[in-house]
Chain A
Amino acid sequence: MQRLDRRDFLAGGAALGAGALLDPSLAWAQGSGTLRVAMTAADIPVPNGQTDQGAEGMRFVGYTLFDSLVLWDLSSATQPSRLTPGLATSWNVDPANPARWIFKLREGVRFHDGSPFDAGVAVWNFDKLLKEDAPQFDRRQAAQGRSRIPAVKSYRAIDPMTLEIVTAAPDALLPYGVAWIVMSSRARWEEAGRTWEGFVARPSGTGPWRFDRMVPRERLELVRNPGYWNKARVPKAERLILVPMPEATTRVAALRSGTTDWIEAPPPDALDSLRKAGMQIVTNVYPHNWPWHFSRVEGSPWNDLRVRRAANLAIDREGMKSLLGGMMIPAKGMVPTTSQWFGKPSFDVRYDPAAAAKLLGEAGYSRAKPLTVKAIISPSGSGQMQPLPMNEMIQQNLAQIGIRVEFEVMEWNVLLASWRAGAKDPSSRGAHSTNSSYFSQDPFTALIRHLDSSLFPPKGTNWGYYADAEMDRLFGAIRTAFDPMAQETAVQRAHEKIVNDALFLFVAHDVNPRALAPRVKGFVQAQNWFQDLAPVTVG
């Protein structure tokens, strides 16, 4: 019998390896007009319309398969995103009744199943979220959609192409909420046995991508919709494959091994190696905010303006940026300085430990006589960036001026539950601040929901129970400013007050990093949580 020696063994191994490399069956790994995206989500966002998995779900399923009446213009990387006509061509408030909105709908739009879109279908879609006795009412979609349009009191079709929406009180911010509400096909729902379980097996919207196939928990495959109503946004790639991949290192391995073309949120410590491997790292400022939200209940040390300003001056944000490998923008307010809503606050949020110590001294505290504060933080979480090292750095910075921080570490979903319940709730454990990253894409989510005195829990999410008559007046001005420019000015005034009064510990804005294979071309990263995949090609 012939003996197998070490040299033969190695040769055999090499041949086996080469065989695998040359195996034509591995060709599936090569894209051909197919964009393969690895999401951070652990499962496919449910393609029912009002999908789940947060902004990532809307980005990859909500706004690919479906459209809303009002869309975001995602075509620019250099300008803040603004609202643009979607399934509605225009919207106006009734001059005689500022609580009554009229949406003129787009003619000739058809769902992927061929059925027409009109005001009746729009009403049917609002019913699926708001009318509990409607046959199409869906608890899951209601849970996702209701909080986006709390002001809506009634709605009706005036004619096939005109929709009326009436709000409980004048609300100039309604279009931002309506932009979340996407339209599912009524005809497909009927055809699928009048069930949403049947609908998600073959979902139908009006979006730029059409459903092809889905393997639950593994992949969703969409194909381009050549008949999309907006010819400028007909996708250039033939196919879009969405794969859930919650583990960051797995996403990196998938990109580097060529089994995916695009990964969301690569970990900061992998960026250099990805660049060296020829990958594109794409970032941009976007409406994300990573603050400490102060409690303003009685006895909170953050009730003192000097303490709040001192803390804001004590944070070395450039040092933190360096800690994160450059993957953050130092915050100077609730929105980035490039936002149309930043305004011109007089208080400059900067790193000035001497001025911080002086202010804290005036409030009666110093390193010798420190102030102790309790802060809720999470070890991880959606949009939370790198919360542990970032918070530890804040703890060190604040200790330098005489603020001793005790952490109350909570798992992300537990933190969210306590955030909803408010600072007075036992679940917040008497903490003086909470650290939840915020979506700040519109004036309501960026500012009003945190500080309006009518939005204390459980009604709203003013976690800290902040109440200020002047702030309420400024918010009222935003809600009644129907002219876009007047509204922008009103938002700026409110934001200036937030910064001047140092109502939060302003720390960082994320830069939304994603890594793309060299063959991915044409992507423009908008200053937005949502992105347009239509111009992307895969060479």
Chain B
Amino acid sequence: MLAYAIKRTLFTLPIMLGVSLVCFALVHLAPGDPLVSVLPPDASQAIKEQMMALYGFDRPYHEQFARWLARVAQGDLGTSIRTGRPVSLEVGKAVGNTLMIATLATLIGFVLGTLFGFVAGYFRDSWLDKAASAAAVFGVSVPHYWLGMILVIIFAVQLGWLPPTGAGPGGSEAWVWDWVHVQHLILPAVTMSVIPMGIIARTVRALVAEILSQEFVAGLRAKGLSEFGVFRHVVKNAAPTALAVMGIQLGYLLGGSILIETVFSWPGSGLLLNDAIFQRDLPLLQGTILVLALFFVVLNLAVDVMQTTLDPRIQRA
């Protein structure tokens, strides 16, 4: 197991280098000024060129990349052009905030998704299957920023039950796990959960249906095993795939929460990324993308290792 984990970790090194290169190239190839965040809109080209030289953006791309990579290798993601704050600090805080809603969303999505998936898979072609599948399709297809706005209108504006924006009084730095703050998590997490819920439900439904059609299930029943015992075997066989999907979904939620965090003004990595893109804050953009990409890589590694623990055949393959 240890050897497998080390081997998989080593595989991630070229991936990380590739991610760094792609991430640097993408943000530099995109049109627009890297100093848009610090220059007034009406600054002249001459002022812009003075500032490009002061910030070192007039140097060749390969030199800029080498400098950046050297710093990243030492754990220094640089500082934000706009605020001067360390990128690692900005990204760390934002990822922490996103993890709160993404973890809650993944849990909601996983619980509801597996529930709907098992119900639909066990009772194929029944009305229960149709209802659960409809919920799953809704989750996959509804635009979640739209759903977020609707939830805000209903629960924040009309009913006044939940706050529509932010991370609570005093902001995320004053976060404590009490109702005043936790209520700020509910709407964004519920909105965010619909996609993993839909995807996990559809995956689990297909898995359960396939497992139930296998001969070993008929064998278990023929041996007189109770239906609950059969269910346990089905769960055990479906778990590795469901777990892998959940891990991937958590990764997606961390990086793909731009719209939801913008709608709810939630100070996470999505809002940070959104700001960095529009402000062309290249160090912040590069740092955020890199950290999210690396998080995704690490998450996949963790899921691989967990899958191997659940099903040793994967390691042999």
Contacts of A455 in B (CB 8 A): 44
A residues 12-41 near B (Cβ < 8 Å) are 17, 20-21, 23, 25-26, 28-29
B23 at the interface (CB under 8 A from A): no
Residue from B38, B45, B48, B264 in contact with A140 in the complex, judged by beta carbons closer than 8 Å? B38
Query: Scoring A residues 273 to 293 as 1 if CB is less than 8 Å from chain B, else 0, what string do you get?
Result: 000000000000000000000
**Contact A422/B163 with A52-B38, A139-B54, A413-B36 known, Cβ cut-off 8 Å:** no
Q: How far is the CB of A136 from chain B (nearest CB, A)?
A: 14
B310 at the interface (CB under 8 A from A): no
CA–CA, A250 to B164, complex, Å? 8
Give the segment of B112-120, B175-183, B197-205, B244-252 that binds chain A. Answer: B175-183
Q: How far is the CB of A200 from chain B (nearest CB, A)?
A: 8
Asked if A146 contacts B47 (CB within 8 A), the reply is yes
**Contact A143/B39 with A259-B166, A420-B45, A459-B44 known, Cβ cut-off 8 Å:** yes
Contacts of B41 in A (CB 8 A): 54, 382, 416, 436, 439
Residue from A21, A143, A438 in contact with B43 in the complex, judged by beta carbons closer than 8 Å? A143
B143 at the interface (CB under 8 A from A): no
A42 at the interface (CB under 8 A from B): yes
A residues 47-88 near B (Cβ < 8 Å) are 52, 54
Asked if B46 contacts A28 (CB within 8 A), the reply is no
Q: How many A-B residue pairs have CB under 8 A?
A: 185
CA–CA, A423 to B170, complex, Å? 48
Contacts of A142 in B (CB 8 A): 51, 54
Asked if A257 contacts B164 (CB within 8 A), the reply is yes
B1 at the interface (CB under 8 A from A): no
Query: Scoring A residues 229 to 250 as 1 if CB is less than 8 Å from chain B, else 0, what string do you get?
Result: 0000000000000011111011
Asked if A28 contacts B31 (CB within 8 A), the reply is no
Contacts of A243 in B (CB 8 A): 166, 265
Q: How far is the CB of B8 from chain A (nearest CB, A)?
A: 35
A449 at the interface (CB under 8 A from B): yes
Asked if B83 contacts A46 (CB within 8 A), the reply is yes
B residues 12-54 near A (Cβ < 8 Å) are 31-33, 35-51, 54
Asked if A217 contacts B82 (CB within 8 A), the reply is no
Contacts of A409 in B (CB 8 A): none
CA–CA, A197 to B152, complex, Å? 37
Contacts of B33 in A (CB 8 A): 413, 416-417, 420
**Contact A139/B51 with A42-B278, A218-B166, A254-B165 known, Cβ cut-off 8 Å:** yes
Asked if A196 contacts B84 (CB within 8 A), the reply is yes
Asked if B160 contacts A21 (CB within 8 A), the reply is yes
CA–CA, A426 to B45, complex, Å? 14
Asked if A421 contacts B45 (CB within 8 A), the reply is yes
B169 at the interface (CB under 8 A from A): yes
A residues 247-280 near B (Cβ < 8 Å) are 247, 249-250, 253-254, 256-259
CA–CA, A146 to B83, complex, Å? 18
User: Count the B residues whose beta carbon is within 8 Å of the partner chain — how many?
Assistant: 66
B144 at the interface (CB under 8 A from A): no
Contacts of B265 in A (CB 8 A): 243-245, 247, 250, 254
Most chain A Cβ neighbours within 10 Å, of B31, B40, B278 = B40
A461 at the interface (CB under 8 A from B): yes
CA–CA, A393 to B267, complex, Å? 38
B residues 246-297 near A (Cβ < 8 Å) are 262-265, 267, 271-272, 274-275, 278-280
A325 at the interface (CB under 8 A from B): no
Asked if A144 contacts B39 (CB within 8 A), the reply is yes
Which B residue's beta carbon lies closest to that of A436? B41
Q: How far is the CB of A52 from chain B (nearest CB, A)?
A: 6
Contacts of A20 in B (CB 8 A): 160-162, 183
Asked if B171 contacts A218 (CB within 8 A), the reply is yes
Contacts of A459 in B (CB 8 A): 44-46
Which B residue's beta carbon lies closest to that of A48? B84
B173 at the interface (CB under 8 A from A): yes
Q: How far is the CB of A32 from chain B (nearest CB, A)?
A: 13
Contacts of A52 in B (CB 8 A): 37-38, 82
Asked if B165 contacts A42 (CB within 8 A), the reply is no
Contacts of A147 in B (CB 8 A): 39-40, 42-44, 47
CA–CA, A333 to B200, complex, Å? 59
Contacts of A140 in B (CB 8 A): 38, 81-82, 84
Contacts of B172 in A (CB 8 A): 215, 218
Which A residue's beta carbon lies closest to that of B84? A197
CA–CA, A259 to B169, complex, Å? 10
Query: Scoring A residues 385 to 421 as 1 if CB is less than 8 Å from chain B, else 0, what string do you get?
Result: 0000000000000000000000000110110110011
Asked if B51 contacts A143 (CB within 8 A), the reply is yes
**Contact A42/B167 with A413-B33, A413-B280 known, Cβ cut-off 8 Å:** no
A460 at the interface (CB under 8 A from B): yes
CA–CA, A29 to B165, complex, Å? 11
Asked if B164 contacts A254 (CB within 8 A), the reply is yes
Most chain B Cβ neighbours within 10 Å, of A414, A439, A455 = A414
Contacts of B44 in A (CB 8 A): 147, 420, 455, 457-461
CA–CA, A215 to B172, complex, Å? 8
Which residues of A approach B to under 8 Å, CB–CB? 17, 20-21, 23, 25-26, 28-29, 42-43, 46, 52, 54, 132, 139-140, 142-144, 146-148, 196-197, 200, 215-219, 243-247, 249-250, 253-254, 256-259, 382, 410-411, 413-414, 416-417, 420-422, 427, 436, 438-439, 445, 449, 455, 457-461
Instruction: Contacts A23-B179, A246-B262, A457-B45 known; list 18 others, CB within 8 Å.
Output: A20-B160, A42-B279, A54-B40, A140-B82, A143-B47, A147-B47, A218-B172, A218-B267, A243-B166, A253-B149, A253-B152, A256-B157, A258-B160, A413-B278, A416-B41, A421-B45, A458-B45, A461-B42
A-B CB proximity, top 6 nearest = A458-B45, A215-B171, A218-B171, A28-B169, A25-B180, A42-B275
Q: List 28 A-B contacts (CB under 8 A).
A: A17-B159, A23-B179, A42-B271, A54-B40, A139-B54, A143-B38, A146-B43, A215-B174, A217-B275, A218-B171, A243-B166, A246-B262, A247-B265, A253-B156, A257-B163, A259-B166, A413-B280, A416-B33, A416-B36, A417-B32, A422-B45, A427-B31, A438-B42, A439-B42, A455-B44, A459-B44, A461-B44, A461-B45
Which residues of B approach A to under 8 Å, CB–CB? 31-33, 35-51, 54-55, 81-85, 90, 93-94, 149, 152-153, 156-157, 159-167, 169-174, 178-180, 183, 262-265, 267, 271-272, 274-275, 278-280
